[in-house]
Structure 1
Amino acid sequence: MGLGYLTIGQSLNTLSGGERQRLKLANELGKKGQIYVFDEPTTGLHGSDISKLLKLLDELTNEGNTVIIVEHNLDVISQADWIIDMGLGAGRNGGKIIFEGYPDDLIESMVSLADRYLKRYMIGTR
């Protein structure tokens, strides 16, 4: 979980939101049939911690759980089984689904900025 530096008995109010979220996640490992929703779980994480988080999210799905993630990090988006792109904007200017499907299909869709950034990212990591 990338939390090896914590000490037993450390007060919870000394932990960041991300650290608390990862502790909760560790507690959930081994459960089956659950639905988990994460809101930008990579915020504030170092790159090496993001790769640890991705492994844990894989463990959750391999155990038969559903994982829903709201995220902008391309490391996470590229690993998704299914993407829903809400497009740009907020309020009256946003909240509309402009794409729904597989990551490779998003890359070819040419419907949003996400497809261009994901395509560049995927080319650089393959």
Structure 2
Amino acid sequence: MSRELDALQMGEAHAQSIGVSVERTKLLALVVTTIGVSAAVSISGLIGFVGLIIPHVSRIIYGGSNRKVVPASAILGAVFLLVSNDLARTAVHGEVIPVGIVTGIIGVPFFMYLLNRISRGNYVS
């Protein structure tokens, strides 16, 4: 499937011209991704803002090189979740707040800032 996905990166017309079944590949990629994300969320819970925020933070810090951004995103994402988990366990005495709420409280303002920055054209990737 990696050959088909690599071909799709060049565009649907190119992929189709070299014999890739575009619709079948897109459907298969969607099904595999859905199953993977469903499994991850069912095990760890909803922590969606980590995937939205951390790669952008990494890109702001390290620039556009994926060679640096991808490993930095993994490390920063782990640190972000550890800090969020600690906050969730210590914020209210005797209660544990779900980590997804803490990541949302931190993530929503940053996401709004990021959208504002992008809409003004100040975001350089």
TM-score normalised by the shorter chain: which range applies? under 0.3
> Greater relative contact order (Cα 8 A, min sep 6): structure 1 or 2?
2
More helix by share: 2
More strand by share: 1
- Please report the TM-score for the alignment, with normalisation by the length of structure 1: 0.23
